[in-house]
Amino acid sequence: MLDLTSDLLKTKYCDSLTAYSRRKTRVVDIGGVPMGGDNPIRVQSMTTVDTMDTKGSVEQCIRMIESGCEYIRITAPSLKEAENLGKIRKELELKGYKTPLIADIHFTPNAAELAAKLVQKVRVNPGNYADKKRFENIEYTDITYQAELNRIRERFEPLVKICKEYGTAMRIGTNHGSLSDRILSRYGDTPLGMVESALEFIRICEDMNYYNLVISMKASNTQVMVQAYRLLVQKLEEEKLQPYPLHLGVTEAGEGEDGRVKSAVGIGTLLEDGLGDTVRVSLTEDPEFEAPVAKMLIDRYTNRKEHKEIKPVEVSPINPFQYFRRNTNEVLNIGNSNVPRVIMDFSRVENVQVEDLKNIGHFYLPLLDKWNMNDLGSDFIYTGDQPISFMLPNGLKEILNYSSWKTHEDQLHKFPLLTGDEYLEQSGKLHGNLNFIKVNYKHMHEAFYTKVKNDPTAVLILTTTNLHAMAALRRLFFYLIENEVKAPVIIQRQFENMPEEQLQLYASTDVGGLLVDGLGDGILLSTELNKFSDRTSQLNLLKSMNSLSFGILQAARTRMSKTEYISCPSCGRTLFDLQETTAMIRKRTDHLKGIKIGIMGCIVNGPGEMADADYGYVGVGKDKIALYRGQNVVKKAVPSDKAVDELIELIREDGKWLEAILSE
Ligand code: SF4
């Protein structure tokens, strides 16, 4: 039995796990655009052109403002860029744009001190404001640790004084990939280390009565990121520090669908629980593409309070600060230690043909009379009442509605899906190994728990129509955990009448938000197909949904099926075309499985930011690239026209290279 009295489980990081409520935060004024409190959740982004290019920066800022940015961050790596921020601000104001500017600072307190006099906010990274990374694990005693803190205070106090004097706001922005040696040695590379890194700076600010702070806890690993923000909220409360507004972001999320899905999993999960006062989506694309994504994520909560009531949770039965997968039975290949499964909904496709399955990763090769499967081969296909008429490949199993399954001649290779009511009432034959049962809130009662607990073939498909869907589904998981039901669970979300990009973000938030907490053994996404009259468009949409399903599992770090690219969004420090390079590396490597490749614009922050990548491609100067294996540099200054080949050579040396198989 779970110990629901454990102190850990009683700790809170949000107002409610069931009733949507935005966390009450302190209002921080940033150049006349206040953040926190009841102000709207703000959208922001960062420029990518060289900060010394005043005209280019101003033009990019205007494009960003017009795409919805309410604050704009610009890198200031040294004094001369910090000084130029003043010019950029002046030029923008002359053109009638008053959007507050934020100086982004790493390693250079003097640039921060100058920028704090010229723009409305400075961002400092507590991992490198007063520390240079030496990748050393130094043993600190309490005395030497305190001496380090005193040293930080000396470096940091002048900036706080200037911010107070000029009314400048500050973000204390911790990044998972750039924690100081001091923090790493005491707390490790953990969410707690990230939080402590910020707290060291927050305490100094509060000692000096400076409260114009915003805090962030970014990571490219969504589980770490979500845990760190939650822990931050909890620690601020525990230490009776102010409830500072939160800036949400997933670092180095990447580009295209992967970048959007990963951002939604991390940022959306926190927004669902009412955390977050500003959002920056980091994509390896032009920055004007970021604000619309952030806005779409945020706008979802405008009327969220009006959702149907969900029974409150007295004590959460899961640990929100550490990943544990819910303990489940293994039913065929679902649950327990199996990777979460992907079920594709073909119930609205008429007369499924052999070649249709290539859209969900299964290819029939007629000459060889054999099936091939790629990395995005779905595990199950749900066909409702329209059974498939041909033999399916081994790796793909079919699910039919119970009424159709009961009358089908092949009841061994096809599996039934029962409604919760059918399951409770039925007395007829079921499959001997695996039965899917679709349940919602009304099935959460004693008779159901008893029956399902005694059924080793049951896999539940959890569904809800509640507007506050992630919380409603999480509540269903809590009922199951509290009642010791160990049946694996497939999370179902159904989306109708929405553009594909919105569906992508909503599905990633709702399903990803559960997966990052170890809840869920599979995913089933459904959408209307009949809006398309032609079959090709229907199948294209199913292809996108299949890719989205695998993308969500990967972004929540629960099933790695494709190469992961941890690419920075680039900024004024980048000396090569990061978008083009990312596309080139991707083209040559995206058939590899489960490898993480970091593609970073600069040597200053790149190696730290790509944290847990297996390989790194990092700009070190004009047309010069350093290649990394994990955290170690293995080639220092490779000419950029040879660097991708050398990177592939490195992967080959490690025995991780595969030749691409053309499946079409
Ligand atoms: S890693 Fe990329 S975004 Fe970060 S500072 Fe370097 S170039 Fe800029």
In ligand 1, the atom with minimum distance to the C-alpha of 573 is: 7
User: Residue 87 C-alpha to ligand 1 middle, in angstroms?
Assistant: 22
Q: Which of 51, 73, 75, 104 to mutate to test the pocket of ligand 1 (most atoms within 8 A of CB)?
A: 75
In ligand 1, the atom with minimum distance to the C-alpha of 572 is: 8
Q: Which of 175, 574, 579 to mutate to test the pocket of ligand 1 (most atoms within 8 A of CB)?
A: 574
**Residue 601 CB less than 6 A away from ligand 1:** yes
DSSP letter at 219 equals B
For residue 8, count CB atoms less than 10 angstroms from its CB and return exposed for 0-12, middle for 13-18, buried for 19 or more. exposed
Residue 74 is inside which H or E element, if any? strand 71-75
* pLDDT given at position 2: 45
β-pair partners for 117: none
Q: Whose CA is nearest to atom 4 of ligand 1?
A: 605
Q: Which of 255, 282, 600, 603 to mutate to test the pocket of ligand 1 (most atoms within 8 A of CB)?
A: 600
In ligand 1, the atom with minimum distance to the C-alpha of 604 is: 6
Predicted TM-score of the model (pTM): 0.91
* Amino acid (1-letter code) at residue 130: A
User: Residue 330 C-alpha to ligand 1 middle, in angstroms?
Assistant: 44
pLDDT digits (tens, 9 = 90+) for 146-195: 998 999 999 999 999 999 999 999 999 999 888 888 898 889 889 999 99
Q: Whose CA is nearest to atom 5 of ligand 1?
A: 605
**Angle subtended by helix axes 256-263 and 500-515, to nearest 10:** 50
pLDDT digits (tens, 9 = 90+) for 264-287: 999 999 999 999 999 999 998 899
pLDDT digits (tens, 9 = 90+) for 297-350: 999 999 999 999 999 998 899 999 999 999 999 999 999 999 999 999 999 999
State the Cα–Cα distance between residues 482 and 4, nearest whole angstrom.
9
**Residue 568 CB less than 6 A away from ligand 1:** yes
pLDDT digits (tens, 9 = 90+) for 640-663: 899 999 999 999 999 988 876 544
**Residue 571 CB less than 6 A away from ligand 1:** yes
Contact 500, 520 (CB under 8 A): no
User: Residue 581 C-alpha to ligand 1 middle, in angstroms?
Assistant: 14
State the Cα–Cα distance between residues 303 and 305, nearest whole angstrom.
6
Mean pLDDT of 54-68: 98
